Structure 1
Amino acid sequence: MNETILYHRNREYIPRIAAVHDMCGYGKCSLTAAIPILSAAGCDVCPVPTALFSAHTKFPVFTMTDTTDMLEGYLDAWQKEGVDLDGVYSGFLGAPEQVAVIQRLYREYPNALRLVDPVMGDNGEMYPTYTAELCEAMGALADGADILMPNLTEASILTGTAYAGADLDDAQVNDLLQALLDLGARNVVLKGIDRNDGRIRNFVANAQAGVDAKEEIVNEKLPFMCHGTGDAFASALIGAVMAGLDLAAACRIASVFVCNAMLSTRHQPDSENRGVSFELCLGELTNLVD
């Protein structure tokens, strides 16, 4: 696969990323992952909160406040202040109307990278606050995405195909990557292929090179799960891209970062629910821009 470098970093310049995600008061994910992880990689993170949660949705009790009504005025104020952006990084959305907010950012910042983590579900199921309408609206962000980063559940929703589980062979991976590229994405990172051999695979594909030139990124599969690893992975990958690395190298760095963070998480109280503890691993990303 040819190197896909999406951002050429000037070491004296700090790139500015709009992070269009929800904010959870308890449970590390979304903005509570994106802000510190991207900051460690030398990025200026500008949050655009899509919802406010008391805790993430894995907890049996949580409150959610939809922020849709405030976002137009929020971005109007950015325009009046002359805010500039180098990237628009979208994740969890609170309502279908918020897709239009992201598309507004695309129009107003046409040179910003479009970085789409289409957060909708996992393990074959949608997240509890999501609807079919919201998932359909989310699909519009795939067209023109510089990086589209779905897990297998999200890839099946985006492409309208049945969820086939995590154990995909190379032919199935190629079909799914091609279907995602056909939606208009320039680059795809397909996450979470598990062939029951003790390893987790992610695949990187570029629209110009085609799926036959895809890159396979393999890491050890740890014998436990952590909440928030998808957000940590996407944020670390984007941080590495904004540090000037090619996409496959960024995927490798993000994979190792998440693995090390999960190992750290095991030693924290309430680790199963609290979320992935990445704090002790942030130096791995800071080193990219030293």
Structure 2
Amino acid sequence: MNDVILFDRDPRYIPRVAAVHDMCGYGKCSLTAAIPILSAAGCDVCPVPTALFSAHTRYSVFTFHDTTEILDGYLDAWRKENVDLDGVYSGFLGSAEQVAIIKRLYADYPHALRLVDPVMGDGGEIYATYTPELCEAMGTLVDGADVLMPNLTEASMLTGRTYPGQNIDNAEVNGIIDALLALGAKNVVLKGVDRQDGIIRNYVASATSGASGKQEIAHDKLPFMTHGTGDAFASALCGAVMAGRPLAESAHIAGEFVRHAMESTQFQPNHTERGVSFELNLDELTRLVRR
């Protein structure tokens, strides 16, 4: 594929992005990641909190508050104040009904980029608060997505396939990507193929070129894993896209940002549960827009 630029940014302009995600009081994910990462990339982040958690769902004890009932009024207030948006970046949802909230944003801001991280699960498992109804509703956001960013678990759920594990060959990658494009995604970034060779691979493809024209983005794999890398990657990718960088380049920037952040993370207490510590690496994203 030819690397596509999705947002033509005036270097003097700060784009506004609605981040439709949950907020965790403890644990580095969702809005806790999206707000600082997108801000570092020069975006005005407009949070739409889909749920409030005391901590993310990898912890054995957490509180969960679904915010569905307040969101229509929340967006009504935006319209009354003539809030405008350049992008809608969606992630973790609190209920199936919240898909309608995202579609309302699409209707209210038809010119805004649709940046969809279909957060549903990882490692072949669905997240604790997700229902079959929510997963089915999430699938309706694929059609028309300017960028769809699933991991292999989520890609399998969206396409009705059995989760194949992380070690898949090129033919399986092509089959998954083409299936996602057939559902209406304009561009796909498939995350986290791990062939146990010390490399993590992400794949970028567009509807115009299909899976046969995909680009492979490879990064060195670190010898440990931690929570929140998917949210950090998606947020950094969205930030790079809104900085005017081409999509495949944005995926590379996001992957390197996460790798460098993980190198910092290993020295932090309780990092396996708490998540990726990206604070010391935010300057990588600031450099994308620094004049």
TM bin (shorter chain)? over 0.9
Cα distance between partner residues in 1 of 2:30 and 2:116: 13
Equivalent residue runs for 1:1-290 within 5 Å: 1-290=1-290
Cα distance between partner residues in 1 of 2:90 and 2:155: 16
Q: Deviations over 1:123-160 (max 9, x none)?
A: 00100100111000000000000000000000000000
Identity level (%): 71
Q: Deviations over 1:239-288 (max 9, x none)?
A: 00111111000000000000000010011111111111000000000000
Letter in 2 for 1:149: M
Cα distance between partner residues in 1 of 2:263 and 2:57: 23
Q: Deviations over 1:2-33 (max 9, x none)?
A: 12110011011000000000000000100000
Task: Please state how far the C-alpha of 1:214 moved relative to its aligned partner.
Answer: 0.2
Query: What's the secondary structure of 1:89's corresponding residue?
Result: strand
Gaps of 5+ in 1: none
Q: Deviations over 1:74-109 (max 9, x none)?
A: 000000000000000000000000000000000000
Task: Please state how far the C-alpha of 1:121 moved relative to its aligned partner.
Answer: 0.1
Query: What's the secondary structure of 1:289's corresponding residue?
Result: coil
Cα distance between partner residues in 2 of 1:237 and 1:192: 14
Letter in 2 for 1:175: G
Cα distance between partner residues in 2 of 1:277 and 1:196: 24
Q: Deviations over 1:204-262 (max 9, x none)?
A: 00001111110000011111011100000000001001111110000000000000000
Query: What's the secondary structure of 1:248's corresponding residue?
Result: helix
Cα distance between partner residues in 2 of 1:219 and 1:87: 27
- Return structure 1 stretches of 4+ with deviation > 6 angstroms: none
Letter in 2 for 1:280: L
- Relative to the length of structure 1, the TM-score reads 0.99
Gaps of 5+ in 2: none
Query: What's the secondary structure of 2:184's corresponding residue?
Result: coil
Number of aligned positions between the proteins: 290
Query: What's the secondary structure of 1:142's corresponding residue?
Result: coil
Letter in 2 for 1:58: R
Cα distance between partner residues in 1 of 2:203 and 2:104: 30
Letter in 1 for 2:196: N
RMSD across aligned C-alpha pairs, in angstroms? 0.5
- Relative to the length of structure 2, the TM-score reads 0.99
Cα distance between partner residues in 1 of 2:156 and 2:271: 29
Cα distance between partner residues in 1 of 2:212 and 2:120: 28
Query: What's the secondary structure of 1:154's corresponding residue?
Result: helix
Query: What's the secondary structure of 2:288's corresponding residue?
Result: helix
Cα distance between partner residues in 2 of 1:270 and 1:224: 13
Cα distance between partner residues in 2 of 1:3 and 1:205: 9
Query: What's the secondary structure of 1:134's corresponding residue?
Result: helix
